[in-house]
Amino acid sequence: MKLLRAIKTVVRRKAGNSDVKRWSDSTNLSATWDERTKLMAGYIKPGDRVIDFGAGKMALKNFLPPGCTYFPTDIVPREDGVVVADLNKLPLPNLGMHDIAVFSGVLEYIHDVRAVVEAIRPIISRVAVSYSILENKPQILRRRANGFANDYTEAQFKELFLGAGFELVSRGLWREQVLFHFKKS
């Protein structure tokens, strides 16, 4: 089963497509991810306008500081008010301006992360992002079986943001993933 999923990931990667079928099934959204999302909410300030890419069950909404405005996006419209945005199919729809973008468990599934970083730069000031770096999960077959479309070391991943005019504010950990908080330079 893992080999089959890995093969499907490689095929989707070559075509530049997202796994809409997988993410349309809410049973593929793990409740354990809420712990990561709660940690990432610590990067959000009271009153921030927050755009949540890959909002899933919209758990982030429950952890926001007072006065925040929440704007959920996802590859599928799970609930009313969710804006459909497929990060593997740029350009993005008109999403308005926001203080911070949150990518909790999302960028591993993106074929061209650099293009996504460039696409969001004009509409945000800060980014909170988790990423399963290659150093912590080096088995490429396992990464493809998980549906991961890319394989960055920590230095390579940081450079995607630094090269787009961001600076690293803080770094944390959740399980095998690194949590990054960037702001525009």
Looking at residue 25, its pLDDT comes to 79
Q: Annotate 51-67 with DSSP letters as a single string.
A: EEET-TTTGGGGGPPTT
- Give the helix/strand (H/E) hosting 2: helix 2-15
Q: Annotate 36-49 with DSSP letters as a single string.
A: HHHHHHTTPPTT-E
The predicted-structure confidence for 138-181, as pLDDT tens digits, reads as follows 999 999 999 999 999 999 999 999 999 999 999 999 999 999 99
Looking at residue 78, its pLDDT comes to 82
**Can you name the residues that pair with 127 across neighbouring β-strands?**
101, 182
Average pLDDT in the 67-94 region?
A: 94
Average pLDDT in the 50-79 region?
A: 95
Which domains does the chain possess? 2-184 (3.40.50.150)
Please choose, from the candidates 132, 53, 55, the residue with its C-alpha nearest in 3D space to the C-alpha of residue 100.
53
Angle (CA) 58 62 65, round 5°? 125
Classified as helix, coil or strand, 139 is coil
Average pLDDT in the 29-44 region?
A: 92
Average pLDDT in the 65-76 region?
A: 97
**153 vs 79, 80, 89, 136, 141, CA distance in Å?**
35, 37, 24, 9, 16
Looking at residue 172, its pLDDT comes to 97
d(CA 136, CA 146): 14
